[in-house]
């Protein structure tokens, strides 16, 4: 009951935030009516391409864990994840949905699937922050006030990379000595949980390919934000948009409203104004429409699989093309 009340409260907060943005004339829907067929085609292509690249990334990561999943299934599952992320608070809801579907492919490797999804999310995060820092350095000579943001972002990125590398190195060195260096039981439990995620099993080739795919995905997202900014007369160049986009996208992931609705728009409004631009809220609203357009397919696939589960209670999802040949019982 409490969980449903929490979700309801987040929907109410998102709706109230959007109403406030419109009421204060921060958010304007008018530019959406000016979209040409060419613009829509380009924007849809960019949005679908982001999901297509992310599907290759998770396929590579799952493959290194011995979980063989076809590309078509990875694409559909990612669309389902987008669907749930759009209608439930926080990106983690989409990851939970993806895990539920991929568990059918790795019935005996559920923790490995969870580890692949966590690494999938982490690689996207660090490349997004990295691109934002790179763009920020280009912009710092023109807008000196972003230098503190660059310093803190660089520290966070270095800490994230160091933490991942140290954790993987430690697990490789001590995987056969589970009792080594026992200082605190909490640390030992955390190390055991990390070991079950099998992060050290990924090949260098897979990690490099995943980082490259993550970078390409984030570049395409920034290009999509840029063309939507042009549509909304934001008066910012690509470099300025590239510097603002990472922080805006990260803020949008804060689970305050379903899909970050209203939260992302307000964050882009603040960032664009700080850089001397305008209409950041409208720019991200247009971006959101096309970035989440594969969620339409995800919603259809989710409805199909849920109907199948209702017909056969206890079965794992789902019977669409590329799914495991036989549903398994829990």
**Mean pLDDT calculated for residue range 270-277:** 88
At residue 172, the pLDDT reads 54
Task: Tell me, yes or no, whether 123 lies in a domain.
Answer: yes
Percent composition of the chain: helix, strand, coil (DSSP 3-state, to 5): 75, 0, 25
- Name the most confidently modeled range: 115-129, 137-151, 154-168, 217-231: 217-231
* pLDDT score of 255 more than 60: yes
- Name the most confidently modeled range: 23-32, 39-48, 95-104, 176-185: 39-48
| Between 251 and 212, the higher pLDDT residue | 212
Q: Could you give the number of structural domains in the chain?
A: 1
Q: Are 300 and 308 in contact (CB under 8 A)?
A: no
Task: Tell me, yes or no, whether 153 lies in a domain.
Answer: yes
Task: Tell me, yes or no, whether 209 lies in a domain.
Answer: yes
At residue 186, the pLDDT reads 46
In a 10 Å sphere around its CB, with 0-12 CB exposed, 13-18 middle and 19+ buried, how is residue 161 labelled?
middle
At residue 22, the pLDDT reads 87
* pLDDT score of 191 more than 80: no
Task: Tell me, yes or no, whether 327 lies in a domain.
Answer: no
Q: What is the pLDDT of residues 261-271, one digit of tens each?
A: 888 899 899 88
Task: Tell me, yes or no, whether 326 lies in a domain.
Answer: no
- Name the most confidently modeled range: 11-15, 267-271, 310-314: 267-271
* pLDDT score of 96 more than 90: no
* The two three-digit tokens of residue 258, written as one number: 């379903």
Residue bearing tokens 């539920």: 100
* pLDDT score of 253 more than 90: no
Nearest-angstrom CA–CA distance, 99 and 115: 10
**Mean pLDDT calculated for residue range 154-166:** 68
* pLDDT score of 233 more than 70: yes
Task: Tell me, yes or no, whether 321 lies in a domain.
Answer: no
Indicate the average pLDDT of the chain.
79
Task: Tell me, yes or no, whether 78 lies in a domain.
Answer: yes
Please report, rounded to a whole number, the percentage of residues in the chain having pLDDT higher than 90. 31
Domain that includes residue 283, residue range: 2-311
DSSP β-bridge partners for residue 258 = 89
Task: Tell me, yes or no, whether 324 lies in a domain.
Answer: no
325 confidence band (pLDDT: 50, 70, 90) = very low
Q: Are 300 and 276 in contact (CB under 8 A)?
A: no
At residue 138, the pLDDT reads 66
């Amino acid at each position: 009951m409490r969980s449903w009340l929490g979700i309801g409260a987040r929907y109410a907060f998102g709706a109230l935030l959007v109403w406030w943005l419109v009421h204060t004339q921060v958010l304007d829907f008018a530019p959406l009516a000016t979209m040409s067929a060419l613009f829509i085609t380009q924007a849809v292509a960019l949005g679908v391409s982001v999901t297509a690249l992310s599907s290759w990334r998770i396929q590579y990561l799952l493959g290194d864990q011995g979980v063989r999943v076809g590309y078509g299934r990875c694409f559909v599952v990612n669309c389902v994840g987008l669907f749930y992320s759009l209608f439930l608070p926080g990106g983690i809801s989409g990851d939970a949905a993806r895990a539920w579907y991929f568990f059918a492919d790795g019935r005996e490797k559920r923790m490995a699937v969870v580890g692949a999804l966590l690494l999938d999310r982490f690689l996207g995060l660090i490349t997004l922050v990295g691109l934002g820092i790179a763009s920020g350095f280009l912009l710092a000579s023109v807008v000196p006030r972003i230098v503190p943001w660059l310093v803190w972002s660089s520290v966070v990125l270095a800490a994230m990379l160091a933490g991942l590398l140290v954790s993987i190195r430690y697990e490789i060195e001590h995987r056969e000595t589970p009792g080594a260096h026992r200082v605190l039981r909490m640390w030992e439990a955390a190390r055991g949980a990390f070991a079950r995620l099998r992060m050290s099993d990924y090949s260098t080739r897979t990690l490099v390919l995943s980082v490259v795919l993550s970078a390409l995905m984030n570049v395409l997202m920034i290009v999509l934000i840029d063309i939507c900014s042009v549509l909304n007369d934001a008066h910012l160049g690509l470099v300025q948009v590239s510097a603002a986009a990472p922080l805006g996208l990260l803020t949008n992931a804060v689970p305050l409203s379903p899909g970050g609705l209203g939260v992302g728009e307000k964050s882009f409004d603040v960032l664009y104004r700080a850089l001397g631009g305008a209409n950041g809220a409208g720019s991200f609203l247009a971006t959101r429409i096309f970035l989440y357009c594969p969620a339409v397919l995800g919603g259809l696939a989710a409805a199909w699989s849920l109907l199948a589960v209702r017909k056969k209670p206890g079965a794992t999802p789902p019977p669409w093309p590329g799914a495991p040949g036989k549903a398994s019982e829990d």
